[in-house]
Amino acid sequence: MTQMALPLAWPADPRDDAFLVTPSNQQATRVLEGWASWPVRTAILTGPRRSGRSLLARIFAAKSGGAIVDDAERLGEAELFHAWNRAQEEARPLVIVADAAPPAWTVRLPDLRSRLALSPHAVIEMPDDALVRALLDHLFARRGLDARPDLIDWIAARIERSHLCVERAVDAIDQAAMERRARPTIPLARTVLAASALIAGSPEEP
């Protein structure tokens, strides 16, 4: 597992300063790192919500001097069409961040659809085991919580493999630990995650 760090001058939230790289998102980082060899000056970056796709796009923009269009499906197609053309005219790389690439993303404007078809596609997949553990460790540390390796392993083996579920699990345990003024432990995690329906089972189970 590696990480891509933001340049120090980038005005990001200090808690969001690194994009953790494992096989589940390595293809996306490689596509963006290789922007100089793209066949066109625009790429599409897709991935699940909360997967760090916007952070990765910001890192790309800071390193390349490029531009970003986030939540592209919400942008007017004509505006997106002009952004794609402008990137070619100015030779300035552009990353279009979306939930999915066409045809899963329905694009009605034929000229835009044809241009997007030419664009490289960087894909962030659902997190693998390595990323789930790395995210748990990173998020607990960001909150100043002493989450031991056995707790990380226990949670990672039981929660759904999604970026959003990892965040919800850490949020729930963080809240309970603050309320009880206690260090996160497996018994605490079992109670909290079962009560939040983030793992199967009953909060009363030993």
pLDDT single digits (tens) 102-123: 999 999 999 999 999 999 999 9
Asked if pLDDT for residue 16 goes beyond 50, the answer is: no
Looking at the chain, the domain(s) classified CATH 1.10.8 span 129-195
Confidence of residue 203 (pLDDT cuts 50, 70, 90): low
Q: Residue 149: CB partners within 8 Å, gap ≥ 6?
A: none
Confidence of residue 19 (pLDDT cuts 50, 70, 90): confident
Provide the pLDDT for residue 8: 30
Domain spanning 129-195, CATH class: mainly alpha
Confidence of residue 13 (pLDDT cuts 50, 70, 90): very low
**Cis peptide bond upstream of 103, omega within 30:** yes
Domain spanning 2-123, CATH class: alpha beta
pTM, entire model: 0.85
Percent of the chain with pLDDT over 70: 89
Looking at the chain, the domain(s) classified CATH 3.40.50.300 span 2-123
Lowest mean pLDDT among 1-5, 119-123, 126-130: 1-5
Average pLDDT over residues 155-171: 96
* Cα separation, 21 vs 185, whole angstroms: 27
* Cα separation, 178 vs 16, whole angstroms: 22
Please provide the average confidence, as pLDDT, over all residues in the chain. 89
Instruction: Please count the residues of the chain.
Output: 206
